[in-house]
Amino acid sequence: MEKEKKKSFLTFFMDYGWYKKYLLPGFIAQSVLVAGGYGTGRELVEYFVQYGPTGGLMGMGLTFAIWAAFFALTFEFARVFKAYDYRTFFEKLIGKGWILYEIAFIGLLFLIMGVVGAASGSILRDSFGLPPLLGSGIFLFFVAWLTFSGSKAIEVALSWWSYLLYIVFFVFLVLGITHFGSAISANFAADTVKPGWQMGGFQYAFYNIAVTSTVLFSLNYLESRREAIISGVMAALISILPALFFYIVTIGVYPDVLDMEIPANGIIALMNVKFLLPLWLIVLFGTMIETGVGFFHSINERINSTLLAKRGRGMSNLARGAVGAFLALMGLAISNFGLIGLIAQGYGAISWVFFILQGVGLFTIGIYKLSKHSNSN
């Protein structure tokens, strides 16, 4: 009788069907989103905090509602049409118009890599006086290695790093309330709501919504509409919670936080807790790598599906790693434009592209095609 191989705790945990269906897509989405979405805190200032403590909170609620609906519909569309890479997904959704989405997706990829590169350079320079090139080298190495390793390794790395991130963000929240509790209460009590919070929440939701394309490869575990909807809502919740933790702390240093290039660094310096900065930097660098890996893996999956269709053979691991390294280098070159400018101008413009191609397309053509498919079956 053959001896059974013992599974490691990690493999055993990842094998649970409920985890793969309801939590894994959310952890991948959150991992990809965080570095370009709220890792430095500057993004939250641009789209939420500037509208006042209460206004920003309302904007964040709007973002969550949009994400919940959008993730759920995206997951169901991918499940029904077996569309587990963005080219297949958008061919099923808008036909030949999928090429427009690819152009926007690659543009966003370089924009986010520019933000990540600028942030990593600023963090190392401001915190340790080290050359920004060092952070770029670390980023490049791990992105190439993980993209080389393939889907399973990426699933494990992105989901488990999320646990560490949640712990650190929760510690950040507790320390923030400890140090700025009275200021947080006073600022929320003032009930400040400035005009434009709706647009802030809307733009933030849609410039980040492209993250759904980086999750598609993990959706093949979904088996029913109910599972797709629950998984989508959970993905939105998992993605927004760390941002909410961070937001609450930023309100403790409002309005000074509006002028900080990297609010995370400024707030941690005000706390004067020695262990927090290195811990934060480790987590932030990890999320930068995760963001790059998530986007680059989506590009690889799109190339792989095309190669399989044309020649019956997909990409080698070496080719996957080479694509990841090349795209990382291109994105890092864009980082020279500066963090605040990239976030304030680039993200705002591209959010409209994704609103039209993904938002309008999915909630009109997507719903129609899902309905037609249900009726025919």
Radius of gyration, CA atoms only, the chain: 20
Is residue 302 one of the residues assigned to a domain? yes
Is residue 3 one of the residues assigned to a domain? no
Q: Name residue, tokens 């500037």.
A: 50
Residue 338: the pLDDT is: 52
Residue 117: the pLDDT is: 63
Locate 147 and state its tokens.
Answer: 């993209």
C-alpha distance from residue 222 to each of 24, 26, 160, 239, 255 (Å): 11, 13, 20, 19, 44
Q: Residue 75 is part of a domain; what is its CATH number?
A: 1.20.1740.10
The rounded distance, in Å, linking the Cα atoms of 344 and 347 is 6
The rounded distance, in Å, linking the Cα atoms of 76 and 63 is 20
Residue 286: the pLDDT is: 79
Is residue 112 one of the residues assigned to a domain? yes
Is residue 12 one of the residues assigned to a domain? no
Is residue 13 one of the residues assigned to a domain? no
Residue 127: the pLDDT is: 63
pTM for this model (two decimals): 0.81
Domain coverage including residue 199: 18-372
User: Under a CB-based contact definition with an 8 Å cutoff, are residues 21 and 15 in contact?
Assistant: no
Locate 78 and state its tokens.
Answer: 């991918």
Number of domains making up the chain: 1
User: Under a CB-based contact definition with an 8 Å cutoff, are residues 136 and 121 in contact?
Assistant: yes
Residue 222: the pLDDT is: 92
The rounded distance, in Å, linking the Cα atoms of 240 and 234 is 10
- Give the model confidence (pLDDT) of 122-160 as tens digits: 666 666 676 767 766 777 777 777 777 766 777 777 777
- Give the model confidence (pLDDT) of 25-78 as tens digits: 998 888 888 866 677 788 899 899 999 999 999 999 999 999 999 999 999 999
Is residue 330 one of the residues assigned to a domain? yes
Apex 276 CA angle, 274 and 280, nearest 5: 140
Is residue 226 one of the residues assigned to a domain? yes
The whole-angstrom distance between residue 305's C-alpha and the CA centroid of its chain comes to 23
3-state secondary structure (DSSP) of residue 54: helix
The rounded distance, in Å, linking the Cα atoms of 191 and 197 is 13
Q: Which amino acid is at 229?
A: I
Is residue 192 one of the residues assigned to a domain? yes
Which segments in the chain show pLDDT lower than 70?
A: 1-16, 35-37, 114-128, 130, 132, 135-136, 150-151, 331-332, 334-349, 351
Residue 234: the pLDDT is: 96
User: Under a CB-based contact definition with an 8 Å cutoff, are residues 350 and 105 in contact?
Assistant: no
